[in-house]
Amino acid sequence: KDVQKETEPHVYLSKEEVKEKIQSYNSSVTDKLKMTLNSNGIYTGFIKVQMELCRPITVQSSSGQGTCAHSNNDTAFYLPNDCVNTLHISSTNTVREVIEALLKKFFVADNPAKFALYKRCHKEDQVYICKLSDREHPLYLRLVAGPRTEMLSFVLREHETGEVMWEAFSLPELQNFLRILDKEENEQLQILKKRYAAYRDKLEEALGGVWKPG
């Protein structure tokens, strides 16, 4: 079940409550990705984000890394949905900062505004997908839910829903999409040609057997 936006109120915890939750969290961790509480009350830890992107992402060329400008050397490709990335963040990092860090890690040149972070959680034997607001703090959500990803996990998706807003893409991105479509069209065409060629061979073989003299 997809929920349009996260509506649960943010509960502010005291420093002592945070300390207790972190101790409980670390005692349940099985992958060594523990949280650390600093003396200033800020804590750090890890979150895992699954990439569920329907459209290709534009990756900066080696010469263009470190900039947001698109170039003719940028490439676009589809990212597998089973791709999971681990980020080390702090309790002060917002959803928007997490999205930007993910894109930077993959050298993605696309505008971060095109993406949104969702949380997937289990409630009453149902799975809910909630879009998080830019001001939410993912590490806080991870701490409250505990380390079990089946209870709470994070998903990166395209921000737009429904009709694709092509005007939001740059000219190089659109040109890359066209190249990908042309490549897929040619691949499908070759598959169809081979399939019908095989059918034709079998028909000709069958016709030869039927009309064979004697």
**Start-to-end Cα distance in the chain:** 67
Segment 129-137 shows an average pLDDT of: 88
Average pLDDT of the chain, as a whole number = 80
What pTM, to 2 d.p., does this model score? 0.65
pLDDT digits (tens, 9 = 90+) for 147-182: 998 889 999 988 755 555 566 667 777 787 788 778
Segment 76-99 shows an average pLDDT of: 87
Residues 6 or more apart in contact with residue 119 via CB below 8 angstroms:
6, 129, 130, 132, 141, 152, 153, 154, 155
Question: pLDDT at residue 11 above 70?
Answer: no
Rounded to whole angstroms, how far apart are CA atoms 115 and 77? Answer: 16
Neighbours of 95 (CB within 10 A): 22
Token reading at 154: 């994070």
pLDDT digits (tens, 9 = 90+) for 19-48: 999 999 999 998 889 999 999 889 999 999
Rounded to whole angstroms, how far apart are CA atoms 34 and 36? Answer: 7
Using left for φ > 0, alpha for ψ between -120 and 50, and beta otherwise, residue 112 falls in: alpha
pLDDT digits (tens, 9 = 90+) for 39-72: 988 999 999 999 888 877 888 765 444 433 444 5
Token reading at 90: 């702090």
Task: Report which of 84, 82, 80, 64 is spatially closest to residue 72, judged by C-alpha positions.
Answer: 64
